[in-house]
Each structure stands twice: as C-alpha cells, then as structure tokens.
Structure 1
Amino acid sequence: MRLKPGFYYQLLQKYLDGVDEAKILQDWRPSSYEDVIREYWIFRPLVKTVITFNRESGERTYHVVEPFLTEEEVSLLDEIFKDLEDVLILKDLSLNYEVKGAILAKSYMEILDEYGVVVSKELNAKYLYYVFRDFLGFGVIDPIMNDPYIEDIHCDGYGIPIYVYHKEFGNIRSYLAFTAEELDRYVQTLVQMCDKHISHGNPIIDATLPDGSRLQATYGVDVTPRGSSFTIRKFTEDPFTPIDLLSLGTYTAEQLAYFWMAVENKLNVMIIGETASGKTTTLNALLMFIPPEAKIVSIEDTREIALMHENWVAGVTRQAIGEEEKEIDMYDLLKTSLRQRPDYIVVGEVRGREAQTLFQAMSTGHAAYATLHAGDVQQAIYRLESKPLEVPRSLIQFLDIVAVQIQWTKEGVKKRRAKGVYEILGIDPADKNLLINEVYAWDPYVDGYRLVGSMKKLEKIAMAMGEEVEVTMEEMHRRAEYLKRLHELGIRDYKEVTRMIHAYYRNPDEDFGFIIDEGRKYGGYYEALAKNLAKERS
C-alpha cells in the first residue's frame, strides 16, 4: 500500500476545531544575524518550514517549527508514549493506516482518562500530532518528508546535521542531528518500514518506503566510519509534466513538441546528466507523450516513474533476502519484458549488463527510453562502450536522440536546463565514429535556447509517414502551440495533462478549444468509471 504524504493530517483535522492557532507553535524567531527568506505551512497550524540566511556565514538553514511543549507537557507525553508502546504492533503494513490512526487516537484518549488528566483543545492537538508523527509517520523527519519543496534528505552520520535538497535553494543544512544510538535505532526503524532487515552482518540496504520514496541506508561504522547513514529520494505523488518543464524553462514548447513527435513515432531517447540534473523527472514527463493504447514496460531499481496509461507494466528489482529468495535485477526484468511485446521499454537508469539487451531491443524496433549518468554526449558514449555496460558502437547508433541536462545556479537559485539536444545519425564509414547532429543548444548568457542544426530525425519521421518534411514541421509547430495553450490555461496536473495529450491524439485536426473540452470529458468519464468499479469491488 502506497501512503500519500501527510496522510494522517486528515485524521488530525477533526481535533483542530475551535483551536487557538496562536497557542500551538512556539514563538520561533531567527537569531539576530539571520534573515527569514522563506516561510510556509506544511500543515496549518501544527507545523511549518522556515528557511533563514546567515549574514555572517552566507549559509542558508532549514528549520522545522513544530508545536511547543513545556517541560511538564513533555514529561506527560513521554509517559503517554510508554503506554502506547503496546500499540507499536500497528506498524504492521498489512493493516489499514486509517484504522491504525483511529486505534491510536482511542488508546491515547483512554490513557488520559486513566491518568485523570484533562487537557485543553490546543494541548490535545499537540499531543495527537506527536503521537501520529512518531507512530504512523517518519518521526523527527516527518515534516521534511511532507514538505513538497524537498526532493532528497541526507543524513551522513551521527552528530552531523541532516541536509535537504530544496527545489528552490538546492542543498541546505538543517538543525536536526542524531546521536550515534538514536541514528542506529532510527535507521533500523526506517528499514523495518520497508519490510527489510539491516544489521552489522547486512549493513547496506536499498529499499522502498511505504510512501514510495527511495531509501539507501547503512548501519554501524564498518562501512561508513562516521556512523549509520541514510539518504531518501522522495517519491512525488504529483510528477512534473511537459507543462512544468515549459514553466520552469527547462525546455521550450518547440523542443517539447519535437520530443512529442519523436515519442509518437517510436524514436529512441536517452536523457543524460550529472546527479540532481533532473534526468528521471524529464524522462517521466516525456513519457506522457506516449499514445494512449501503447503497451509500456518500465524497469527500475525503485519505483519513480508515474504514468496514467492503462496498458503499462511497472517492474521493480528485488534484492535477495535469505537463501531461498532469488535476486531479480534489471537484466532479468528486461529479458522478461521483451516477451510481453512492448511498444515502449523504459529503463529508469542504465548502469549494468541490461544495457546490451536494451540496445539490442532498439535495433529490433522497440522504442526505448532511459537515463544515464554522464556529463555530455562523448562521456555517454564512452560509458556505454566501457565496462560494465560494453555496448558495441554498432548498437549505439540505434539511439536516436540524446538530451543533456545540467543543474544551473542563478542568483542563488538552482535551476535545471537542457544544455543540448543531439541526434545520432549512424556511423561514419570513414573513421567509424558516431555521427552526431546538435539540434538545440542552451545559451547561459541569455538563459535561452537556439536552433543549431537541422532536425534530421523529423526528416526520418516525414519519410516514414510518406509526407513532405514541411508538413511534419508544421505539425510539430502546431503541437508547440497546443502546449503553450495548456500552459496559459494553467493545466499542469499530470493526470489532466495526459488526458489533454490523449485527446489531441483522438482529435488531431480539431481546434484547440474542442480538443481541450474533449480532454475534460474524457477525464470525467474515466474518473466516474473508476468510482463505479471501486463501489462494485466493495
């Protein structure tokens, strides 16, 4: 069961009626040498984020502001927690979390009755927040897990502040840190939430948390001398769409329309870049251009791809636990996927022996999409040809388009840009090098894109469709205008954007207003269908 971020906030809502907000949070203020540069609620009135700028050090700090408790109130909460420890069995993920929340709230009320303690509405809300946070949520990092602006969380050892990756500010140090004992215990708790086990004998774990986030954890000092550690790559319930990439300036409408034409016509695309350049984010957005009825198979180490397509099989690798359980890696999943006759194969990140099989699939007519860790096209080719990938150049030539992404900082704000878009045109018979055609280039001085070369792949598409390249180009420009219209209308939710793309496929010659209306009708029809099916099953 995949939990939505802050799922227990709904359970808390009914305890907030008549609460005086001013009595919930502590009177938090920055130090005299800090300025507040960003402040927003995570769940009002119980928890919010404050980001400060230190004028002396030039550093930003991430603060979580939670309900304030006096020493006496903390002491009572500690006693309540001890009595609630018997309810820890509710952590069993097979149970419904709403039921767990109801049982926890009931047990908490019964404990207060046993103590003969009457608390105010405000203190009641505070106590229940901490009970739900620690028993149902992620404990001390739960507010960070529920902050929509945070992408990654890094704990590098005991006594070291937790760092977060903020969408607007990049890496920021927080004030949170663990002792060695606290960190060991917390890492074990995180791993147990994934139904896995970590110990000195098995000190490294890659797993998926109940909300879909990726967890990489180490235990003890044997493999990480600074102590246990963890990194969480948060799963996003609301993935970026092509419209988001347009809004953020990562790609232009014309570039996105170019990719749309490529995806529809089953050209092979790879997104490359360094760490945190947004490779998977862009890949997921471009996959929304896949025609609605196409068969898709995705293969990942940890589930990140999120699509609305019904004819989609999502494969995830599995580590072996014990002697009887077999490990299933990307290569195993890819071999299995080819037997399913997919139209589109998606590999979250190419980094092992699955690479050769993926490129063989390209050579036999399957459309393949993947990401690769590389700084530019030449680095990507070198990585593909080198161990452990060892893809021969004769197969690399079947890759059609490569987009190179970077992370760029302007005026202290992190942004993601497509440094270049390239086409691979085959192998030069003279020197046996790959023929690479640069189509788009990004100019950092103006933060804009320019068309560098001709779109040879559009010529290939036109030829396959039996039409003049001018006609194909005109259709690409029309799709660019359609994407601009969706942007102007504020349509960006991934489900709605996918419906609008599907509506375009079904009504390509109609005016945009008609297509958008059809997309909305299409969405309403399937939402009603899903609700009816849910009723029948219940």
Structure 2
Amino acid sequence: MTQLSEESLRTSYTIPSIAEIRVDIVEGIDKKLRYRVHEPVLSDVGRTLLNNFTYRVYRDLNLMKHLSTLSFSRKAYDVVVGLLKDYIKKEFSSRPAIIFGGSSPASRVSDAEIYNVAYYVVRDLLGYGPIDPLIRDQQVEDITCNGVELPVYVFHREFEWLETNVVLPNTESLERVVRVLAVRSGQEPSIANPIVEGVLRPEGYRVHIVLDTVSGRGHSFSIRRFRETPFTVVELLRRGVLDSGLAALLWMVVENKQGIVIYGPTGSGKTTLLNALAMFLPPETKIVSVEDTPEIFLPFHDNWDSMSTRLSNDPKVQNVTLQMQIESAMRQRPDVLILGEIRSREAYAFFQGVSTGHGGLTTVHAENIEALIRRLTSPPMNVPKSSIATAKLYINILRIPTPSGVVRKVAYVYEVEGYDAMKDLISFKLISKWFKDEDVWYLDLRDSNVLKSISELILTRYEDLLRDLVMRATTLSYAASKNVDIFEFHSILRRYRRDPIKTFNEAKEFLGDSYKLVIRELDERKSL
C-alpha cells in the first residue's frame, strides 16, 4: 500500500519474532490512524535468492519434509540460514546466472542479506505469510481481511481498528493465506461448505473463513487473538475499568462461589473481566471451563479442567456441543463452572448448574439488563426466570467514548433481590454504578442480598463482611500502586487467604491509609 505523505508518528514498538519487526502507529493528514509494519528489506539479489531457494524447497520432498517438522522458531531460522549458505556455495559455482542473473558473485551476498532471506523463508513456509507479523503482535486482538487488494485491518488494544499496510495483491496470494489458515485450523472450506470456523494450532486463536462464493469482494477471514498472559484485576484497576472497592466486592462474591453473569456489547471486555475474576478463586478449587474456543487461562489453578467444543463435517464423527460439555462438566463435581459465552441452549444447562449449588461465571452479549433478560428467556435459550434468579450478580461492562478515546468501564452491577413466581418477575437492585462526570463508582451495600447470602454461608456478621471488604480493597489498591505482575499478584492473594490482617496492615502501611468505603444510596430497582 502507498504510504501517505506527511504522516506523524504516534508510537512505535517491536514485535517479538525471529527477526526485528517494527510497528509504527502513524497519523495521516486526514487525521486517520494507520498501522505500519516494517519487515526486513530485501535487495534485488535477496529477492532472487529467496525465489530460487523457495522453488528448490518445494521441489525437494525430503527437504520440505524436514522443514515441516520444525515450528516457527529461532531454531528453524538458524536451520534455514545454514541451508541458504550451503545452497549459495553449491549452486553458485554451477549456475551463477540462474541464481543471481550473473550480476553478483556469491561473496557479495552478505550475512545480513542471508538472515533477511531466511526470515521470509521461515515466515512463508512455517508462519502465516504476509499476515504473520500481525499474528505475532501482542497488541493486536483481531485481524480481518475482506478481499483482494484491500488493506488488512487490525483491532489494536490501544487504538482499536486500524488500517494496515499489509495488502494481499491478487487472488493467488489471498488463497495462499486462506489455505494456510484452513490447514492450521483443521478445516476444509469448499463450495459446498464456504463458511468455516476453527482454532489455529498451536496458537489457539479463533479463525473464521468465508470463501468468495458467498463473499462479494473475494475470500475473507478474521482471526481473534488471545493474550498469552491474561489480564489481572491489577491491570484492570490501573486502566480504570473498575475501582478497588468494587473489585473487592467481586473478589468476595467469586471466592464464595456465587453465580455471576457478565454482559455487554461486542468488544467491551467481557471475557477479559471473566478471566480476571476467575483468578480470585483459591488455587485448589475444582474449576471446569467450557468454551467454543479456549480463551480462559488460569495458570495457577492445577485443579482446572479446560473443555472446548468440536464440530465436524464428517457424519461419522460426533459433534461435541457446549451443552454436552456442560453436562459432562457437571459430572466432575466442579466447585465452579465457567462458561465462556452463552449463545444458545447451553444457557439452560448453565443456570441449572448454578441453581444446584455450583458456582458459575459466564458472559452474554447484551446492551443492558432488559435486553439480557429478553435474550435469556427467548428462543433458543428459553431459560426460566426462576433459574435466571439463581445467579447472584449481573455485571454490565461497556465501551464508552470519551474525548481521549474509547474506554471500558464496569458501568452497572445488579444483584438479584428475589423472584415473584405469581408474576414471573425477577427483582433486581442496582448496587454499583459508574458516574461518568466524576469518574467514580458508588456502592449501595446498606442491605445487600449477595452479602447476606455470603454472611449466612460462612457464618459471619454483615458488619464483619464490610470490614473484610475494606481490607480487600486496601490490599488491591496496594497491588495496583505497586503495579505487580501476575506472579506477585497471585502471591498477594495467597498471603491474604493465609493471614488477611497482616497482609492488610502491610498494604495500609505502604499506602499510608486504608480504603475509605463510602456507601451511597442508589435507589434503583427493576422488575423484569
């Protein structure tokens, strides 16, 4: 793609890869942000060497087989560098004109040029071709291509949707990428089956492929990347997604295995929040997570079983659905069931599990609490309101535009007050709300049903729970102030479970004071 003149650099960083790959986020004269990826530059000699060596690899079955056993890694890169050097020594003496057009002796092919050529060999044979840098960029959440000669777009963690300078210029190059994605995901798109979804191996990213038979601008694909190290509540606190008081309340609710449903629009951070809250569970807790594509990651929970679905076009191979996996999970006697996202009939099985005393965490696409209840009670979910009422908290997370950009906020938290069987209505009470003008959260915990349930469950006075909430909030503020990583955060949680007073005192001493819990009457109830 042609780069616009007079672009100003907003930020720049490198991508961890086998070669130095740089990304520039630039702003054009049209005020549009763009994503520029810079790969090693090849000279004419380097391009000729790349074409000839790649041709040889495809013709040599033994060499192709050897390279295919390698993964995209530094080891593969070093192997290819050695093969390239041997190739130059062997082939130049007999066919210099064919290799370099007779314009350059082998001695003038520098090591730097060989390393650059090796990068492209590994990228195209073992990686994902032109889109490989985008897949390696940990700041990228989504990658989409809508057809030939169109720029690939990425969803950046900081800047959201950006046009890239990666363009697949012809049908052949697009088909090559689609073929790689199909093979890596174990799917076979065809005229009879032009739309497929799968999981890229070994990365575990979700891919969606649509062939040109039903896509007007050519083959298209989208890839959802997952963060290798999940967000912790500390990172969410530092990003202003929620505050320490609300986080402490959610910590208490999760730890005591109460049912929680997180809802919001696409891209609001529902799964990110779900994963962060699940880390509050004690490490010995029996957890079973069920997802279409594995996204949940709990690195410190050895008693966690991650289950995913399996769909097949072969009539002889059984499909494994979310509903089947949930039913299987319930036979494992889990303390907590995590369902990545409710979409269909698995909703009924999830709420049945929650109603029988299992802890539960899940997400649903819905803009507000009214839309959420309509969706849960309508086909194909058809969940009875009596079952919906068994979950204790409903958390609304939103993407909110601000002058400085889009931010994610836990905007509302509702608790279930009760269920009226005669009227078939669920009573919801708002217990937390984010006020945009002040950028603060207020908690209404004067008479909270969820805290009463926890109080009865662990035989603790309501006032003691509020004191514990202050101690937890102070501890979380301490962790956020120190910007601890995931390992240190796990250590802090472990210390708090073992000796909460000592951990609280350490946090209070570091901060200079404890968290000030301000309870404000929100006085908002809904019967749905």
Query: Do residues 50 (structure 1) and 24 (structure 2) align?
Result: yes
Q: Partner of 1:215 in structure 2?
A: 206
Q: How many residues align?
A: 487
Query: Do residues 40 (structure 1) and 16 (structure 2) align?
Result: no
- CA 1:228–1:431 in 2, change beyond 3 Å: closer, same or farther? same
After the TM superposition, list the runs of 4 or more consecutive aligned residues in structure 1 that deviate by more than 3 angstroms.
28-33, 86-106, 428-432, 452-455, 511-516
Q: Any conservation in 1 of the 2:474–2:504 contact (CA below 8 Å)?
A: no
Query: Do residues 81 (structure 1) and 54 (structure 2) align?
Result: yes
Q: Partner letter of residue 46 of structure 1?
A: E
Q: Partner of 2:97 in structure 1?
A: none
Supply the distance in 2 between the matched residues of 1:135 and 1:109 (Cα, whole angstroms): 18
Query: Do residues 61 (structure 1) and 34 (structure 2) align?
Result: yes
Q: Any conservation in 2 of the 1:167–1:414 contact (CA below 8 Å)?
A: no
User: 1:99-154 deviations in whole A, cap 9, x for unaligned?
Assistant: 65554343233222223334223212212222222222222111111222111111
Corresponding residue SS for 1:416:
strand
- CA 1:242–1:443 in 2, change beyond 3 Å: closer, same or farther? same
- Unaligned residue ranges in structure 1 (runs of 5+): 1-27, 517-538
**In the alignment, which of 448, 453, 456 is matched to residue 460 of structure 1?**
453
Q: Any conservation in 2 of the 1:221–1:227 contact (CA below 8 Å)?
A: yes
Query: Do residues 145 (structure 1) and 135 (structure 2) align?
Result: yes
Supply the distance in 2 between the matched residues of 1:126 and 1:134 (Cα, whole angstroms): 13
Alignment of 1:61-460 (within 5 A): 61-85=34-58, 86=60, 87-89=63-65, 100-116=76-92, 117-118=106-107, 119-178=109-168, 179-307=170-298, 308-428=300-420, 431-452=423-444, 454=446, 455-460=448-453
- Unaligned residue ranges in structure 2 (runs of 5+): 93-105, 509-528
Once the two structures are overlaid, the 10-residue window that deviates more, 256-265 or 126-135, is 126-135
1:489 Cα deviation (Å)?
2.1
User: 1:222-273 deviations in whole A, cap 9, x for unaligned?
Assistant: 2222221111111211110010110100011111110110011111001111
Supply the distance in 2 between the matched residues of 1:508 and 1:52 (Cα, whole angstroms): 48
Q: Any conservation in 1 of the 2:259–2:391 contact (CA below 8 Å)?
A: yes
Taking only the aligned residue pairs, the percentage that are identical comes to 31
Q: Partner letter of residue 108 of structure 1?
A: L
**In the alignment, which of 465, 469, 480 is matched to residue 476 of structure 1?**
469
1:439 Cα deviation (Å)?
1.1
Once the two structures are overlaid, the 10-residue window that deviates more, 132-141 or 506-515, is 506-515
Supply the distance in 1 between the matched residues of 2:374 and 2:465 (Cα, whole angstroms): 33
1:219 Cα deviation (Å)?
4.1
1:459 Cα deviation (Å)?
2.2
Q: Partner of 2:512 in structure 1?
A: none
Supply the distance in 2 between the matched residues of 1:316 and 1:172 (Cα, whole angstroms): 31
Q: Any conservation in 2 of the 1:206–1:215 contact (CA below 8 Å)?
A: yes
Q: Partner letter of residue 11 of structure 2?
A: R
User: 1:480-529 deviations in whole A, cap 9, x for unaligned?
Assistant: 11111112222122x4423332332223343358799xxxxxxxxxxxxx
Q: Any conservation in 1 of the 2:478–2:507 contact (CA below 8 Å)?
A: no
Q: Partner of 2:514 in structure 1?
A: none
Q: Any conservation in 1 of the 2:209–2:222 contact (CA below 8 Å)?
A: no
Once the two structures are overlaid, the 10-residue window that deviates more, 321-330 or 331-340, is 321-330
Higher gyration radius (CA)? 2
Query: Do residues 489 (structure 1) and 500 (structure 2) align?
Result: no
User: 1:421-460 deviations in whole A, cap 9, x for unaligned?
Assistant: 1111221467432111111111222332222564331122
- CA 1:515–1:413 in 2, change beyond 3 Å: closer, same or farther? closer
Q: Partner letter of residue 114 of structure 2?
A: N
Q: Partner of 1:22 in structure 2?
A: none
Corresponding residue SS for 2:206:
strand
Corresponding residue SS for 2:208:
strand
Q: Partner letter of residue 143 of structure 1?
A: P
Once the two structures are overlaid, the 10-residue window that deviates more, 474-483 or 115-124, is 115-124
Once the two structures are overlaid, the 10-residue window that deviates more, 184-193 or 130-139, is 130-139
Give the TM-score of the pair, scaled to structure 2: 0.87
Q: Partner of 1:519 in structure 2?
A: none
- CA 1:333–1:130 in 2, change beyond 3 Å: closer, same or farther? same
1:280 Cα deviation (Å)?
0.3
- CA 1:199–1:30 in 2, change beyond 3 Å: closer, same or farther? closer
Supply the distance in 2 between the matched residues of 1:412 and 1:444 (Cα, whole angstroms): 14
Give RMSD over aligned pairs. 2.4
Supply the distance in 1 between the matched residues of 2:70 and 2:3 (Cα, whole angstroms): 43
Give the TM-score of the pair, scaled to structure 1: 0.85
Supply the distance in 1 between the matched residues of 2:3 and 2:402 (Cα, whole angstroms): 26
Q: Partner letter of residue 475 of structure 1?
A: D
